[in-house]
Amino acid sequence: MAMANRGASRSSRLPPEVNRILYIKNLPYKITTEEMYDIFGKFGAIRQIRIGNTPDTRGTAFVVYEDIFDAKNACEHLSGFNVSNRYLVVLYYQTTKAWRRMDTDKARERLEDVKERYNLGGDIEKEKEKMYGYTPTPRRNQ
């Protein structure tokens, strides 16, 4: 009976956000790779686990499964799972969001370079004061 259910779930269509890569948040900082394999390996073969080790990425990890259905099963069962008094947040990795954030960061860096090169930025009212030699009066609500 269990095999029949498993086969039925494999033939059904998956939502577009489902993929083999899971993004895990709210991990204990001291968690080891072996503990991650113990927790996530129960749901299927794992290709790779990457645990964040910089101040920005601590408490997060990526788990890459061999099979998309194993990743879906792990996401459904481990979201909210308690590890060392921390509840895991398990999400599907979304490449479009990651690339969009990288593009935004690059654009911000380019903007800062242009501001620095042309001595731009700062308070607009102060710039007007320098250019026109007066202090603008604040607007009143009507």
DSSP code of residue 31: -
pLDDT digit string, tens, across residues 88-100:
999 998 877 655 6
Predicted pLDDT of residue 2: 44
For residue 59, which of 99, 86, 20, 98 has the smallest C-alpha distance?
Answer: 86
**How much is the pTM?**
0.60
DSSP one-letter string for 62-81: EEEESSHHHHHHHHHHHTT-
Residue 3: pLDDT band by 50, 70, 90 thresholds? Answer: very low
3-state secondary structure of 61: strand
Residue 129: pLDDT band by 50, 70, 90 thresholds? Answer: low
The CA-atom distances, in angstroms, between 94 and each of 76, 100, 105 are 17, 10, 17
Domain with CATH 3.30.70.330 in the chain: 2-93
HSE-CB at 129 with a 13 A cutoff on CA atoms is 8
* Separation between Cα atoms, residue 34 and residue 51, nearest integer Å: 11
Predicted pLDDT of residue 138: 60
Pick the CATH number of 2-93 from 3.30.70.330, 3.40.50.2020, 3.20.10.10, 3.40.50.300: 3.30.70.330
Task: Express as a percent the part of the chain with pLDDT over 70.
Answer: 68
**Ranges 37-41, 56-60, 129-133: which has the least confidence:** 129-133
Q: Which residue has the higher pLDDT, 130 or 79?
A: 79
Residue 121: pLDDT band by 50, 70, 90 thresholds? Answer: low
Ranges 43-47, 119-123, 128-132, 138-142, most confident: 43-47
Q: Which residue has the higher pLDDT, 110 or 129?
A: 110
pLDDT at 77 > cutoff 60: yes
Predicted pLDDT of residue 131: 63
